[in-house]
Structure 1
């Protein structure tokens, strides 16, 4: 009788979370995971910053994309799993710690990727994180009978794709860009295939908060990176007017990006026409554009002090492009589905202005400040004329 009781308690211990649970918020363990994770993002951003000022951007950008995808994908899988099955028991905490170790291993290997194109540590750290997640899915298969097939699909799919990464990199096949994209496709397909059988009970408000928290963390990391570059560049000299414009413009730009994302926070879990997979996967472009913009603003400091092998106009175009990618995702996810008529096209007009700005000024500080002002004015117009419209969202993430 005692053994049966203990078994029932164990089954209940790892039961799925209630997707309608009120006041569901991110846990301290999830916040710690994010802080460890952002170390790897910061390391990759530093390497991209150096590549920009050395004139190697187009060579380094594909590498940065590959590294950032590995980091983001590991974070996203952890976050969605935790939203459905975080029971905070000892084994769950230990397996989460293993994933943190994998993230730190990946961070340690990032410099070698950019300098020597050596992915050994990245692959090893990635496999550590993914195998810890496989163990979690096997626990789900044991304790959640309704989603046993879903859990096995996740576990088997993750293992097969990890074998693909290992074979493609550590064998004579070699990891070409085309093969990388093929493996990325299979990585993205695993959740889609697994959830087709029985959807996991992820919590909409919890997922929205997790994505919002990572957005803030990446924005903060970008600000820190820009500030560190500014401090290093200007430690032995006084700021001139252009450099003041650069600092003020960069801060305004980051503030505007925060504003643009969170101004419709109440719509994040009530989106008309946007499916959860599209929303979840599409945030990759939001996160990576923020991170790239942070590296670009840090590189702009070197451009202003003439310590970079890149022109002010090219630097301005890079910043404009990353800002447009970020804002386009937010626009497509929200405004394009909420607004009607002429109001929907205010943002595309802003995009044209942003791309023209680098050609109107010669100095990078003036370019960044002008783009920030344009972006802020667009948000003010949106706040005044668009957000009070009668368009109401239809449907939900479920």
Structure 2
């Protein structure tokens, strides 16, 4: 890589691990995820949920660029370190402007435009560093040019125009920008570089862990200031158990299997696994966790008696669909994640998805705490079944016997 010792970029080694700076960056991103949860919880309507999903998708799309960049050059060396800190500041600004991304608040700057400018700053910093990193790599330079020419050029215009409008027009323009941006990735080619499969898999695993951790934080936020009681204790333990079971569903075997498949893959196939299994299939996992956090927050406020609710109140509408739908999206993503890499369909997880869909009408009439208990029971049954029935292959995968 070119440059003086202080500014040069250093390539990532095959056995590299995620740097502390990348983890720091990810913590700021996940803080923005929590702001999305608060944004969705502020107004539980279908339109606002769509807005929240759009903002979450924009954050995800900004983050994945840095996951690829950090697999080409070391994020904590030379000019890349400076770029990461500047991008981190822009992400923090995005998070702060989420509450007024669609409705400008009186006083101060115009919120929607600040949101878009901060988002585009994150994207263009990434593009600039990738451009410098490809100086002596003709293949990577071609890929960066193709991707940027068709992606950011169109999306940036739509985002800025959308920020100057409001209501349905703003939402439609931003949706169009994001759909174009993400869709173009499939047409931009497979000439990206992936120097370390283990680093790439670890980076995505960490963002899942941090997001699950933030869902637990939402449990605490949901009961902050309320007197401790048996219902809050049970609800908190059930919420923690759900998060733990989702962790198990990802990290026990699935993450290892797909990482091994990516290690074995060569050429374009490795890039396709990285793009489809991680960049795309991980998005519904993160979206599912954020939605589940919204549901957990509402359940704990119900069982704690906040805002006039009682222990017998059922969880209706958006909060219920967020709780169950978030877990369903997470499980579907795990099925697609593993199927694309290995060709194997995880039937028990498909059955669990069908069972949860069928149980939504039941949960609709149950007290909120009971609805959370049912969700936890289905996940526990799934994990116990997989551990018992797939004991031998599970042991072989986890302990390197295959």
| TM-score computed with the length of structure 2 as normaliser | 0.82
Contact 1:47 1:114 in 2 (8 A): no
Structure 1: how far apart are the matches of 2:344 and 2:27? 36
Tell me which residue corresponds to 2:182. 188
Change (3 A) 1:194 1:346: closer
Tell me which residue corresponds to 2:215. 222
Contact 2:29 2:91 in 1 (8 A): yes
For residue 26 of structure 1, give the secondary structure of its aligned residue in structure 2. Answer: coil
Residue 327 of structure 2 is aligned to residue 318 of structure 1: no
Q: How does 1:1-398 map to 2 (within 5 A)?
A: 13-14=8-9, 16-18=11-13, 21-22=14-15, 24-51=16-43, 56-86=44-74, 88-113=76-101, 116=104, 119-160=112-153, 161-170=155-164, 175-196=169-190, 198-232=191-225, 234-235=226-227, 238-240=228-230, 242-264=231-253, 265-271=255-261, 275-279=273-277, 280-304=279-303, 305=305, 307=307, 311-314=314-317, 315-334=319-338, 344-357=346-359, 359=362, 362-389=366-393
Contact 2:9 2:78 in 1 (8 A): no
For residue 312 of structure 1, give the secondary structure of its aligned residue in structure 2. Answer: coil
Deviation at 1:271, TM superposition (A): 4.4
Q: Deviations over 1:21-47 (max 9, x none)?
A: 12x110011011111212211111122
Deviation at 1:150, TM superposition (A): 1.9
Deviation at 1:176, TM superposition (A): 4.3
Contact 2:3 2:9 in 1 (8 A): no
For residue 84 of structure 2, give the secondary structure of its aligned residue in structure 1. Answer: helix
Structure 2: how far apart are the matches of 1:302 and 1:322? 18
Structure 2: how far apart are the matches of 1:371 and 1:153? 45
The structure with higher relative contact order (CA 8 Å, sep 6+) is 1
Deviation at 1:372, TM superposition (A): 0.4
Structure 2: how far apart are the matches of 1:107 and 1:16? 31
Structure 2: how far apart are the matches of 1:70 and 1:104? 14
Structure 2: how far apart are the matches of 1:179 and 1:115? 15
Contact 1:103 1:126 in 2 (8 A): yes
Structure 2: how far apart are the matches of 1:252 and 1:172? 41
Contact 2:8 2:79 in 1 (8 A): no
- The runs of 5 or more residues in structure 1 that have no matched partner are 1-5, 394-398
For residue 303 of structure 1, give the secondary structure of its aligned residue in structure 2. Answer: helix
Contact 1:130 1:158 in 2 (8 A): no
- The runs of 5 or more residues in structure 2 that have no matched partner are 106-110, 263-268, 398-402
Structure 1: how far apart are the matches of 2:327 and 2:71? 30
Structure 2: how far apart are the matches of 1:381 and 1:211? 26
Structure 2: how far apart are the matches of 1:387 and 1:283? 26
Deviation at 1:175, TM superposition (A): 4.5
Change (3 A) 1:85 1:8: closer
Contact 2:83 2:129 in 1 (8 A): yes
For residue 269 of structure 1, give the secondary structure of its aligned residue in structure 2. Answer: helix
For residue 307 of structure 2, give the secondary structure of its aligned residue in structure 1. Answer: coil
Task: Figure out how many residues of one structure are paired with residues of the other and give that number.
Answer: 373
Contact 2:33 2:56 in 1 (8 A): yes
Contact 1:253 1:375 in 2 (8 A): yes
Change (3 A) 1:387 1:184: farther
Contact 1:246 1:366 in 2 (8 A): no
Deviation at 1:266, TM superposition (A): 1.5
Structure 1: how far apart are the matches of 2:38 and 2:120? 24
For residue 325 of structure 1, give the secondary structure of its aligned residue in structure 2. Answer: helix
Contact 2:75 2:84 in 1 (8 A): no
Structure 2: how far apart are the matches of 1:14 and 1:278? 27
| TM-score computed with the length of structure 1 as normaliser | 0.82
Change (3 A) 1:167 1:67: same
Structure 1: how far apart are the matches of 2:316 and 2:276? 34
Structure 2: how far apart are the matches of 1:193 and 1:170? 30
